[in-house]
Structure 1
Amino acid sequence: MEISFAGKRVLVTGAGQGIGRELAKKLVSCGATVTALSKTENYLKTLKDECPPIKIVAADVGSSEIRAILRQHGPFDCLVNNAALAILEPVLETKEESFDLLFNVNVKGVFVVSQEVARMMVDNKIQGSIVNISSQASKCALRDHLAYCASKSAVDMMSKVMALELGAHGIRVNCVNPTVVLTAMGRLGWSDPAKAGPLLQRIPLNRFAEVEEVVNVVLFLLSDKASMVNAVEIPIDGGFLSV
């Protein structure tokens, strides 16, 4: 199945590395005009070197300036909310600062970016698509993940409300919920067999996800091939949540 984004303007947040970076490059190869947003300018510069057609924007989705920045670069036909933080602390040691920071980026950031992009879609009569990168952690309690699990659960429900209200404008909103993804950081963080082993045992496919496996699902949800898919949460977890 070939997917084309010719003539489509796509915003990808958290595009400096990992899933967002590979997704941005793949979208360009499918014909999209891509705006890659990240708070880390060095990552964006190397992305631009690898893929010159990409437009880069250095900005933090949790900043007070993000609305004005989005207005300068929009409108967009598609949005991927990929920017997120993970701070792992046990329940009794979770700091209020950590909790606030995760919710500011993982939840409020998704809300603000989605609201501004959706407003531009409505103003320009664009029947667009929004995909939010959630996590299997939104559905399953994980040790040391109090704030992270809570933030991703909030993303799931927020996405459903967006889908409900924006559907009248022809705007679809969906989530993907990956297990551990083997980005550079994922490989480093889960390289210890003692840590990875118990989680792998709960995954019927007995492995973690590759970046491309997440990118491919996001591409489908963004595309016109998924024109009747709305308000779903797609696990990319090898069966972890289903058995």
Structure 2
Amino acid sequence: MQLPKPPSFRLDGKRALVTGAGRGIGLAAAAALADAGAAVTLVARSADELDAAAAAIRDAGGQAQALPLDVTDLDAVAAAIAAAPPYDVFVNNAGTNRPKPFTDVTVDDFDTIFGLNVRAAFFAAQAVARRLLDTGKPGSIINVSSQMGHVGGRGRTVYCASKAALEGLTKAMALDLGPHGIRVNTICPTFIETEMTRPFLSAPDFRAEVLAKIPLGRLGKVEDLTGAVLFLASDASALTTGSALMVDGGWTAA
């Protein structure tokens, strides 16, 4: 009897691009991809932070280079991606939030969140997809969304709206790009302890409220997301596209 051969999670010979890669979820994703054999390009605004992150990955035996860019500069991002060989894997991670009650949200708050979470994410993914299409290569685009793209959250109207938009974008991208062998999915984390979330998670009442909604009873760590990244980046998810992979401790199961 010949047994089915499981697919590999390895990424040897692949090129990966990760935005928001200087810290937090982006850095963890970049490190995981490099550990699986990919040559990773890290993108963020802070050159010093980015250089240190890439150097740490190289010190650990991985392949990594820094590409300092502001992803909201659409022309610069498109030019950089067009000038490079195509990326087999794109982790579209750069994002932000400004938690406020709905009635306190300003136009600047709205434009800043949508400008990074949706507008910049859309056109970065478009640039990556165009390079893949130009060369006839398959690929995997991973949009980092949130559980808040599937549920509401107090004080997070704009963030929820931006991540819901990313979910809709992902499904439509999957339909457009699927015939070309390019898969598009989202990862939807619960609250992950990072530099961005630490200020409001440090408030005891808010932290308790969050924990009460997570059946597994704990906040997420960036390491909790790396398995999902490797799954979606690799041949292990060869038949997965247009999907949202919940990494939320059970929050959305209720």
TM range (shorter): over 0.9
Which residue identity lines up with residue 10 of structure 1 in the other structure? A
1:74·1:117 contact (CA, 8 Å) conserved in 2? no
The separation in 1 between residues aligned to 2:50 and 2:140, in whole angstroms, is 24
The separation in 1 between residues aligned to 2:54 and 2:212, in whole angstroms, is 39
Identity %: 37
Instruction: Indicate the larger mover: 29-38 or 42-51.
Output: 42-51
* Post-superposition offset of 1:199: 1.8
- Tell me what 1:11 maps to: 17
Counterparts of 1:128-167 in structure 2, within 5 Å, are 128-167=139-178
2:55·2:64 contact (CA, 8 Å) conserved in 1? no
Residue 197 of structure 2, aligned match among 171, 177, 186? 186
Q: Does 1:229 align with 2:240?
A: yes
- What TM-score results when the alignment is normalised by the length of structure 1? 0.96
- Tell me what 2:39 maps to: 33
The separation in 2 between residues aligned to 1:185 and 1:90, in whole angstroms, is 18
Residue 90 of structure 2, aligned match among 58, 76, 79? 79
Q: Where in structure 1 are there 5+ consecutive unaligned residues?
A: none
* Post-superposition offset of 1:184: 4.1
Partner of 1:218: helix, strand, or coil?
A: helix
2:41·2:66 contact (CA, 8 Å) conserved in 1? yes
Q: Where in structure 2 are there 5+ consecutive unaligned residues?
A: 1-5
1:81·1:110 contact (CA, 8 Å) conserved in 2? yes
Partner of 1:65: helix, strand, or coil?
A: helix
- Tell me what 2:56 maps to: 50
The separation in 1 between residues aligned to 2:48 and 2:179, in whole angstroms, is 40
Which residue identity lines up with residue 241 of structure 1 in the other structure? T
- Tell me what 2:72 maps to: 62
The separation in 1 between residues aligned to 2:31 and 2:210, in whole angstroms, is 30
* Post-superposition offset of 1:158: 0.2
Q: Does 1:212 align with 2:223?
A: yes
The separation in 1 between residues aligned to 2:9 and 2:115, in whole angstroms, is 34
* Post-superposition offset of 1:48: 2.4
Which residue identity lines up with residue 139 of structure 1 in the other structure? H
The separation in 1 between residues aligned to 2:250 and 2:212, in whole angstroms, is 11
State the number of aligned residues. 243
The separation in 1 between residues aligned to 2:197 and 2:107, in whole angstroms, is 25
Q: Does 1:171 align with 2:171?
A: no
Per-residue CA shift, 1:205-234, capped at 9, x if unaligned? 111111111111111011001000111111
- Tell me what 2:3 maps to: none
- What TM-score results when the alignment is normalised by the length of structure 2? 0.92
